[in-house]
Amino acid sequence: MGAQTIAPTSELSPAQPLAADHPGITELFAVLAYGEISAFYRLAEEAALAPSLRGRVAVAKMAAAELAHFETLEAALADRGADPEGAMAAYEGALDSYHRSTDPSTWLESMVKFYVGDGLAADFYLEIAGALPTEVADTVRDVLAETNHSQFVVDEVRTAVALSRSERDRLTLWGRRLLGEAITQAQYVMAQRDELAELVLAATGDLNGIATLFDRMQERHAARMAELGL
């Protein structure tokens, strides 16, 4: 994660932050950790699609950043007395399913997925950061912070779509698919894990708050697509 350069959405800030021992926090760290290690392997594989050495180097640096974020979350899980691998296993099926359904077939698709897809996930979790205890919120913001590699992705995609209308149209459709799959995945994960669902519900206030959260994700998605020239 960490691909976004668009300003983050307004974080939710209830009168009282959630308790540090809320079981949903362990679940939050677990789903984020599996997302980061999955991103590391995905980027390492997709580096082979890069058309240039510059691209391969850029993607390798992205992968290294994801691995560093994973290690931060792994340590956070251990500090909470959780077994990192065991905790992450609960999210393996859902996140792997998302990546199978959004498997990029070209270099540009992989770049759009990195920027837009990972940005959507970051939006979702950053929205609830304001409701978390300070030390937990700091960890979440740290592992979801934008990286200095994002501009490379923007430049790569904008250049390509400026030269080809058909490429722009194809990647626009790809971006819409990523949005739909990401929201479906988030809903599925919450439905499967009660503790995480309770944390999100506590942070948003009620079901209407969750709906508003998804609305804001779509707004930020549109902004990212525009940033890419799509």
Residues 6+ apart with CB under 8 A from 165: none
Amino acid 94: pLDDT: 86
Q: Is residue 10 part of a domain?
A: no
Residue 77: band (very low, low, confident or very high) from pLDDT cuts 50, 70, 90: very high
**Residues 32-68 pLDDT 10s:** 999 999 999 988 888 888 888 988 998 888 899 899 9
pLDDT of residue 209 exceeding 60? yes
Q: Is residue 16 part of a domain?
A: no
Q: Is residue 6 part of a domain?
A: no
Q: Is residue 120 part of a domain?
A: yes
Q: What share of the chain is helix, strand, coil (3-state, %, to 5)?
A: 80, 0, 20
Residue recorded with tokens 């960890």: 139
The whole domain housing 99 covers: 23-227
pLDDT of residue 138 exceeding 80? yes
Q: Is residue 17 part of a domain?
A: no
Q: What gap in Å lies between CA 132 and CA 149, rounded to an integer?
A: 28
Amino acid 146: pLDDT: 64
pLDDT of residue 5 exceeding 80? no
CATH number at residue 191: 1.20.1260.10
Q: Identify the CA nearest to 4 among candidates 148, 107, 219, 212.
A: 148
Within the chain, what is the greatest distance between any pair of CA atoms?
Answer: 53
Q: What gap in Å lies between CA 62 and CA 40, rounded to an integer?
A: 8
- Is residue 143 within 8 A of residue 125, CB to CB? The reply is no
DSSP state at residue 48: G
CA distance from start to end of the chain = 21
Residue 193: band (very low, low, confident or very high) from pLDDT cuts 50, 70, 90: confident
Classify the C-alpha dihedral 200-37-113-159 as positive or negative: positive
**Based on the structure, what is the number of domains in the chain?**
1
Q: What percent of the chain is modeled with pLDDT above 90?
A: 38
- Is residue 36 within 8 A of residue 144, CB to CB? The reply is no
Written as six digits, the tokens of 138 are: 């700091």
pLDDT of residue 92 exceeding 60? yes
